[in-house]
Amino acid sequence: MNVPLTVLGGFLGAGKTTALNGLLRQAKRRIAVLVNDFGALNVDAALIATQGGGMVTLANGCVCCTLGDDLGGGIARLMALDPRPEQIVIEASGVSDPWRIAQLARLEQGVGLDAVLVLADAARFPALLADRWLADTLERQVARADLLLLTHADLAGEAGLAATRAALLRLRPGVPVAVMPADGLPELLLAAHPEPPARRIADSPSGHGFAHARWTPAGPLDGERLRAALASLPDSVLRVKGFCRLGPDGVPHLVQRAGQRTVIEVWTGAPVPDGLVFIGRPDMPDAAALSSRLARAEGAG
């Protein structure tokens, strides 16, 4: 299976480093992170297991590496680790277009693009969008994001959140906008990964302020109707991920949806029980409502 690769973008000061720091502190999977400046990440020294050669290994198995100029080389170094990371996250530089990085990263062997997450500083975004020098850079960062996450909610207040949300909606109607938890980027916003059941329970979304629902199909699904059902979901659904069987032959597939982008690919890994997990904002439809939408995909030919 390809290692899922997530790109974290957003302008300088949007909170990427804080988000990653929180992700690493709480990670339950072996996450490998490519960052612009390891020093800025300010990882608690007590969490560091080993350090050297531009790479830092944490006690929980996560790895940080400095990105430098060579994106592909950095990914290749991570992919050469033993054991291989279960998830890669790349921190885009504050002036770059994160989708552009995703385009290039997905060319590397053994990785699959998971999602492009873009952070917007709710306290500053509208002002930056009015800056004659910076407006178009921010617009480009947002233009092809899968999910938009509002940061610095405490500083911004309700008015700032509303203004930033409105500005983002003008730029990207329909793309999900959610609030970043204060304790960093939650692992549940990253890709699905087959895990032992014990760990899956540990993966429960408590404490992050996200809604969570699970749907288990009754049998194989029709691929086209599944796509249509996923496309009809409201923007309160941030992510859908999991496994199902498709078509009359019941071929196992991996399903990944981030915002409005869906990837459905044949699953060749170890057998995994069917089931899709929905992660959303608190206003996401409940499990029953989601199940009735998805049930339209049931009954494969």
Partner 1 sequence: MTAPVTIFTARRIVTMDPARPGATHVAVRDGRILAVGGPAEMADFPSAELNDSFAGSVLMPGFVEGHSHLLEGAVWRDPYLGFFDRRDPDGRIWPGLKDMEAVIARLRQATQAKPSGSITAWGFDPLLFGGRRMVQADLDRVSTDRPVVVTHASGHTMNLNGVAMAMAGYDRANDLDGLVRGEDGRPTGEIQGPDLMGRVRRVVIADMTSRTMDAGALRLFADLALRAGVTTATDLVSDMSPAIVAAYRDAAADPAFPLRMVPALAARAFPQEEGLARFRELQATSTDKLHFRLVKLVVDGSIQGFTARLRWPGYHNGAANGLWYIAPSELGAIVEAWHRAGAILNIHTNGDEATEAAVEMLERAITAYPRPDHRHTLQHCQMPDPALFRRIKALGLCCNLFANHIYYWGEEHVAQTMGLSRAQRMDACGTALRLGIPLSIHSDAPVTPLDPLFTAWCATNRLTAKGRVLGEGERIPAADALRAITLGAAYTMKLDHLVGSIEIGKFADFAVLAEDPLDVDPARLKDIRVEATVVGGRVFPVPPPR
Binding footprint of partner 1 on the chain (CB under 8 A)? 11-12, 37, 39, 69-73, 94-95, 100, 103-104, 107, 131, 133-134, 136-137
Distance CA 39, CA 258 (A): 30
Residue 196 Cβ vs partner 1, minimum distance, rounded to whole Å: 34
Burial 83-95 (b: 16+ CB within 10 A, else e): eebbbbbbbbbee
Q: Which is nearer to partner 1, 39 or 271 (CB)?
A: 39
Residue 134 Cβ vs partner 1, minimum distance, rounded to whole Å: 7
Q: Which of 62, 70, 25 shows the shortest CA–CA distance to 43?
A: 25
SS3 of residue 215 by DSSP: strand
Sheet hosting strand 211-215, strand order edge to edge: 211-215, 275-280, 237-246, 251-258, 261-266
Residue 7 Cβ vs partner 1, minimum distance, rounded to whole Å: 13
Residue 279 Cβ vs partner 1, minimum distance, rounded to whole Å: 26
- Left (φ > 0), alpha (ψ -120 to 50) or beta: where does 198 sit? alpha
Q: Which is nearer to partner 1, 104 or 272 (CB)?
A: 104
Q: Which is nearer to partner 1, 133 or 158 (CB)?
A: 133
Distance CA 264, CA 7 (A): 19
**DSSP 8-state class, residue 84:** P
> What is the rounded (10 degree) CA torsion for 34, 39, 45, 48?
20
Residue 205 Cβ vs partner 1, minimum distance, rounded to whole Å: 32
SS3 of residue 199 by DSSP: helix
Q: Which residues contact 61 (CB under 8 A, 6 or more apart)?
A: 27, 30
Up-side HSE of residue 35: CA atoms within 13 Å toward CB? 25
Residue 103 Cβ vs partner 1, minimum distance, rounded to whole Å: 5
Q: Which residues pair with 87 in a beta bridge?
A: 31
Residue 144 Cβ vs partner 1, minimum distance, rounded to whole Å: 10
Q: Which is nearer to partner 1, 103 or 236 (CB)?
A: 103
Tokens of 274: 């069917």
Residue 292 Cβ vs partner 1, minimum distance, rounded to whole Å: 34
Q: Which is nearer to partner 1, 260 or 291 (CB)?
A: 260
Q: Which is nearer to partner 1, 95 or 182 (CB)?
A: 95
Q: Which is nearer to partner 1, 136 or 283 (CB)?
A: 136
Q: Which is nearer to partner 1, 72 or 207 (CB)?
A: 72
Tokens of 119: 């952070």
Q: Which residues pair with 34 in a beta bridge?
A: 65, 90
